[in-house]
Chain A
Amino acid sequence: MIIGTAKETYRADAALLTTRPQQTWTGVLALVLIALPFTLNDYWLYLVCLMTINAVAATGLNILTGFTGLVSLGQAAFMAVGAYTVAWMERDLGTPFPVNLVAGGLVAAGIGIVVGIPSLRVKGLYLAIATIAASFILHFLFVHWEAVTGGNTGINVAPARILGTELVSYFGLYWIIMPITVLMVLGAANLFRTRIGRAFIAIRDRDISAEVLGIPLLRYKLMSFAIASFYAGVAGGLWAYFFRVITPDSFPFMASVFLLAAIIVGGMGTIIGALLGAAFMTLVPELLRFVMDWASPWLPNATVLLSPVRTIVFGLLIIGFLVFEPQGLAEIIQRVRRFFRLWPFRT
């Protein structure tokens, strides 16, 4: 049983990793992430990459919704903005991929600020609905601004290149997707050790109080939108390099719901929550495939049931977590940790 950790400085208190076991496990995780592409086949590597891209977008959404309290159902539309920017730059300018990714993030951030403007007048549900509206309007642009977006046929994206080699295999792509994700997640974790992050949390807890405390709501709400959209834009850019084609239907409205569901299931307002949620929600449909395969001897038409069962499980996960475990998977992990830490005593 670990009794506790005494911290002697503010620095130590605000550090990301405070205990020895935390540091050890983080090291193990880093090793696993490096070893992963050497051990997985294409199918699992595909899933890991998809999971990782979703994790970036979910982390962004978590900054906006989990930490600032502004609900958005438009995160996937911002991903699309990033993906289109990257695809357009790759096609018309031919700039190197890191530049494109950053540009994708910045353009998405710009659009995010515009979409965030209604947040000055409306909040809560009304804001969520405004973001739904924004995502439908963006979808219209993607279809009809043919000179840039290629209309309904979309844009084919040339593969990302490093030092003249084209990254086309999942193995190669992993080495740009994973490091960028790690950077983005670390950035998010560090954001909440700064004044800006604390201002976000104050706004979430009660925006009027925050304003009384001297936090300019306008600036910080828009900043939160900008950061969240930047994350979405970069995720969208990675998505574009991963799938190598982007069409208006690549990011349907349900993708936004998926991301919001991911942070609910993972745990709103925690960094690890977005990661767990993105991983969990990406894997569940695949695991259901194995469950259905396994059940096929008893259920004659198991394969035909797969898709509806997935839809139902998706809905049940959202409902179940909100009703029974509002803090999400992150809280379950905390409970498990507490159990081991306090063992043999009970919590």
Chain B
Amino acid sequence: MSDWLFFIEVSLAGLGSGALLALAALAFVLIYKATQVVNLAVGELLMLGGYLFFAFAAGWGLPAWAAVPLAVIGGGLVGAVVERGIIRPMLGESAISVFMVTVGLGSVLIGLVELIWTADPRTLPAFISTKPLFLGEAYVSRKIAVAFAVAAVVIGIFLLLFRFWRGGVALRATATDQAAAYSCGINVPGVFSIAWIVGCATAAGAGILLGAIGGISPTMGVFGLSALVVVIVGGLDSILGALVGGLALGLIQSWTGTYLGGEYTNVVTFGILIVALMIRPYGLFGTHEIERL
């Protein structure tokens, strides 16, 4: 009996961290869907979000309800600057070149954070209560529960926006066919900007949650690699894929960590990635593109 309880507790923790993965994966998907750019700097944007929150909450002493939106907006602003400054000039270049630009961007962001806040790891001011939560008898860390709730709400909002909001429809239209979207009068560069702004803001938000759980440091961007696995498995252009993939990976990582040991999580994660690539290269929920000469 207690073993079942333990299993359930472990699974709940896995779902919680899976929700965080899904949120970070969402940032990948938003940007990829609109602009066909795989943004490897998502992990670093996450980190930046955590540090912005740190600056507003610990540096300026703002309360959490003010610091969280400010950090998210800050992330969005960085997204806008990045899109106009270095992504737009790359329009029409090969996907690999743009991918490498985002790798460079990640390096620049790490350097800037180290320059401003030094490389020392820091703890975010507590803004989530630390009281434990019990679902029936099962224990859940409250921070993980909050992360799960936030991620669920945000992903839900995005699903609705894509379905009903004009901008969301425009984004889907751009994703389907850029030229056709142009000719229908959709402001495609505008869509690009919005996708980057919203994507980076989402990443910043995920970074605050992540930082609240594990503290912040310039190396926390490696979390982005796990999120990358999620989007490859789920499909680069599928929000639903990010959600399902995120939760699934969270569960799997939690189970391997518990039953095999923490050192196996990375190898299992990337093993899944390779298997997924071999079986469904375009992801579980992704669009299969047919290439023509």
Contact = CB atoms under 8 A, between A and B. Distances in A.
Q: Tell whether any CB of A sits under 8 Å from a CB of B in the complex.
A: yes
Interface of A: 71, 118, 121-122, 124-126, 128-130, 132-134, 136-137, 139-140, 143-144, 206, 208-209, 212, 257, 260-261, 264, 305, 307-319, 322-323, 326
Given A307-B114, A326-B93, A319 B277 contact: no
Contact of A144 (B86, B99, B263, B281): B263
Nearest to A314: B107
A121 B277 contact: yes
A208 B114 contact: no
B96 A315 contact: no
Contact of A312 (B89, B107, B119, B228): B107
B263 A212 contact: no
A322 B107 contact: no
Nearest to B110: A311
Contact of A318 (B100, B111, B264): B100
Interface string B239-265: 000000000000000000000000110
A323 B101 contact: yes
Nearest to A118: B277
Interface stretch (B127-135, B140-148, B200-208, B266-274): B266-274
Interface residues of B, number: 42
B291 A315 contact: no
Of B96, B105, B109, most buried by chain A (CB within 10 Å of CB) is B96
Given A125-B95, A144-B263, A136 B105 contact: no
Contacts of B58: none
B225 A125 contact: no
7 contacts: A71-B96, A118-B277, A122-B277, A257-B103, A313-B111, A315-B108, A318-B103
Interface string B79-116: 00000001001100101110111011111111110110
Interface string B275-290: 0011001000000000
Contacts of A143: 263
A137 B267 contact: yes
Nearest to A125: B38
Given A137-B270, A307-B119, 16 more contacts: A121-B277, A124-B96, A125-B38, A125-B96, A130-B274, A133-B273, A133-B274, A260-B100, A312-B108, A313-B111, A315-B106, A318-B107, A319-B86, A319-B105, A326-B93, A326-B97
A139 B225 CA distance: 15
Contact of A137 (B105, B111, B271, B281): B271
A121 B281 contact: yes
B6 to A, nearest CB: 26
Report whether over half of chain B's contact residues are helix, strand or loop; otherwise say mixed.
Answer: helix
Report whether over half of chain A's contact residues are helix, strand or loop; otherwise say mixed.
Answer: helix
A252 to B, nearest CB: 11
A322 B267 contact: no
B232 interface: yes
Contacts of A310: 111
Nearest to A139: B266
B126 interface: no
Contacts of B225: 132
A305 B115 contact: yes
B293 interface: yes
A144 B261 CA distance: 13
Nearest to A70: B96
A342 B263 CA distance: 61
Nearest to B270: A133
B281 to A, nearest CB: 4
B229 to A, nearest CB: 8
A130 B277 contact: yes
A126 B104 contact: no
Contacts of A311: 107-108, 110-111, 114
A212 B109 CA distance: 44
A126 B281 CA distance: 8
A125 B105 contact: no
B100 A264 contact: yes
A129 B228 contact: yes
A126 B274 CA distance: 10
A277 to B, nearest CB: 13
A316 B90 CA distance: 15
Interface string B164-175: 000000000000
Contacts of A312: 107-108, 111-112, 115
Given A140-B266, A309-B115, A130 B104 contact: no
A149 to B, nearest CB: 14
A124 B277 CA distance: 12
Given A305-B115, A311-B111, A322-B101, A129 B232 contact: yes
Nearest to A140: B267
Nearest to B264: A140
